[in-house]
A and B are shown apart, each in its own frame.
Chain A
Amino acid sequence: MTAGHHLVVEGLHASAGGKAVVKGVDLSVSGGEVHVVMGPNGSGKSTLAHALMGRPGTTVTGGSIRLDGLELVGIPAWRRARAGLFLALQQPIEVPGVLLDAVMAEALAPDGSEEPTAERTPAGIEDRLRREAAAIGFDERFLRRALNVDLSGGERKRNEVLQLGVLRPPFCVLDEIDSGLDVDAVRAVARRIESATEEWGLGVVAVTHFHRLLRVLRADRVHVLVEGRIVASGGPELAEELEHTGYAAY
C-alpha cells in the first residue's frame, strides 16, 4: 500500500440521540499524515469519530466523507471498514466467547472482489498477531482470549492498536486512544502508530483532549474542535499553545 490515499470530510454535520453535535467539520487527510483533533469534553469529538465510522444512532445530517473518492455517508460501518477505515474505540467492549483471531479472520475474509493472500491464512493472521503484540507489549496470553474479556482498560486500548496493525487499513480514527493508559503504554502505542504511517502510509485522525500523545506521535496538523466546529487549525505548535492556554480562548 502506498501513501496515495485521501480521506476528505466536507461540511460534516452529525447528531447523536437526536441532538446536533457536529456542526460543519472539514478535514483533508492524506496517507501517511497525522491529524489531531483536540477539544474540551462535550465538543463533539466522539460523535465525529462515530459519524466517520457509521455507528447506528449517530446520524449524518449533512456533508460528505469520501475515501479515495468513495462516499462513505449512507453505507454501513462494515463496508466503511472494508473500504479502508478503522476506528479504535474509546471504550472497547467485551464480546464473550468470540476470539480475537476469529474476528481478524472474518475481517480479512475476502468479500469476493479480493484475492486471498498469504497474510489472510490462519497462520498468516497468527503471525501478524504475534508480531503486533510484541511491538506494543501486549501479553501473548491475551491473544487466546475472547475479545477484551477480563482485560484492563489499558490492555483493551493496546488490543485496538494491535488489531489496527493486523488489519493495516489506509486510515484510522483513534478515539481517545491515550485515555486510561499509563505513560509507557502511551509511548508504545504512539510509536506503533507513528511507524505505521511510514510502514504502509497509514493516515491518522486522532481525537484527544490530552497533549501527551503528541510527545511521541508527530502531528502534521492540529485542529481545535469547539462546539462541533473546527475553530482553529495549525501545525504541532498549536498543541503546545493549547497546553499552556487551554481552550478558554476559543
Chain B
Amino acid sequence: MALPSDKEEVWRYSPIDALDLDGYAPVRPVPPGTSPDPLAAAFVAGVARDLPERAATVTTSGGAVTSVARHGLDEGVLVGSLADAGEGTLGRVLAGGDALVRLNDGFHPDAVVIDVPDGAVVADPIVVVHWCDAATAGGSGAAPASFPRTVVRIGRGASAGVVEVVAGPPQGRALVVPVTELHAEDGAVLSYVGLQVLGPNVWHIARIAAASERDASLRTFTVGLGGAYDRSRTDAVAAGAGSTTQLRSAYLGTGEQVHDVRTLQDHAAPHTTSDLLCKGAVAGSSRSIYSGLIRVRRGALRTEAFQTNNNLVLDAGAHADSVPNLDIEENDVRCSHASTVGPVDEDQRYYLESRGVPPERAEQLIVLGFFEDIIQRSPVPGSVERLRREVGIRLTEALHIGGGDGDG
C-alpha cells in the first residue's frame, strides 16, 4: 500500500510527502526484567502526581505493555494487554484505514485493552502512558518508530473515563503512529482525553476511531502539543439512534511545528447530535491545519451537528488554515460550522488595558484564557491539572513570558 500524498483531500496542506519510512525502524521490545527508562519513570510519576485519583495506570514502551496497576478497580473491569482479551478485540470500530493505520496493524507489539462491562461505573480515570523512544542525539541509522494501540469498550449503560498520554524523550527523531479505538455501547458514557507531548523532532500521526451506539454519550478531547509534525485524525460515527458525540481539540504551535487536526462527524443514525470545538494557537513559524467534515447519511433524520474552529495567530511568521466541510444527504437536519483565524482580539486587549493591565500581560491573559476555556471543560475533570501544566509550559515559550522585561 502506497503512503498517502498531499494530493488527497485528507492530507491536503500536510507535509506528508516528506515522510521517509526508510529513516525509521520499529522499536525493539523491552526484554522482561529490564529496569525502566529513568526519563519514562519520571514522566509517569509526574502524571501520577497530577492525576492523584486513578482507577488504573497502564504504561507501555512504544506500545508494548510494561506495567498495569489497578487502584481498587472492580475486578470485572478489564485493563490489560491483548493477551487478556478475547478474539476480535481489535478493529471493531476501525473499518479499513490508510497506509499508516496498516503500519500500526502490522507493527503494534501489543495493545492496551480497556473493557468496562455492562452497567459498571468507573468513577476515576484510567490512565495510559505510551512512552515512545527517540534516537539519541547525534546517533546515526534508523530512528525508532512506535505503534501504540489502544482499544476502549464501554458496555451497555456503563461509564468510564480514559486519559491516554503519548510522550517521549525531549530530544531525538522518532516516528509515532498510534491507533485508538473507542466504542460506547448502548447508553454508555465514554469520556476520553488524548494528550500528545512528544519531543520537537518527532512525527506523530495518530488515528482515533470512535463509535457511539444507541443513546450513548461519547466525549473526546485531544490535545496536541509536541512533535515536528503532529497529526490527529478523529473519525466519530454516531452509529446508534439518540447518541451524543462531543469532540474537543486543542493545539499550540511553537518553533517550526505543524499541527494537523482532522475530524469526521459521521451521522449514520437518526436523532443523533455531535458538537465539535477545536481551538488552536500558532506562534513563531509554526502552522496549523484544521479540516473537519460533518457527514449526515441518508436516514439520519433530525441530526444536529455543529463544528467550530477558532485559531489565534500569535506571530507574523505563523499561519493557520481552517477548512470546514459539510456533506448532507438528509433534509430534516440542523448543521452549522464556524471558524475564525486571526490575532488576539483588539477589543479584548483594550478592555484589559483600560483596567491598567500592560499590553503584553493582557495578551498573555487572553491567550491563557483561550486555552483555559477549553481545558476546564475537559470530559475527564481529573485531567485538568495535567493539561493546564503542559499547555502552560509551552505558552510560556510561545508568549516569551519571563524573557526580557517587555514594556511593563
Contacts and interface: CB of A to CB of B under 8 A. Distances in A.
B346 A96 contact: no
Contacts of B359: 76, 78
B55 to A, nearest CB: 29
Given A78-B357, A78-B358, A95 B369 contact: yes
Contacts, number: 83
Nearest to B349: A56
Contact of A97 (B351, B356, B372): B372
A81 B365 contact: no
Sorting the interface of chain B by its residue count into under 10, 10 to 19, 20 to 34 or 35 or more gives 20 to 34
Contacts of A238: none
A78 B351 CA distance: 10
A46 interface: no
B348 interface: yes
Give the interface SS of chain B, mostly helix, strand, loop or mixed.
Answer: helix
B47 interface: no
Contacts of B374: 97
Size bracket, chain A contacts: 20 to 34
Interface string B185-207: 00000000000000000000000
B365 A102 contact: yes
Contacts of A106: 352, 355-357, 361-362, 365
B373 interface: yes
24 contacts: A53-B354, A55-B354, A78-B353, A81-B353, A81-B354, A81-B355, A82-B356, A86-B354, A89-B351, A92-B351, A95-B366, A96-B370, A96-B372, A97-B370, A97-B371, A97-B373, A97-B376, A103-B352, A103-B357, A108-B356, A111-B358, A111-B408, A146-B369, A167-B356
Given A96-B369, A97-B376, 19 more contacts: A55-B350, A55-B354, A77-B350, A77-B353, A78-B353, A78-B354, A78-B357, A81-B353, A81-B355, A93-B348, A95-B366, A98-B369, A103-B355, A103-B357, A104-B355, A106-B352, A106-B357, A108-B356, A146-B372
Interface of B: 346-348, 350-359, 361-362, 365-366, 368-374, 376, 408
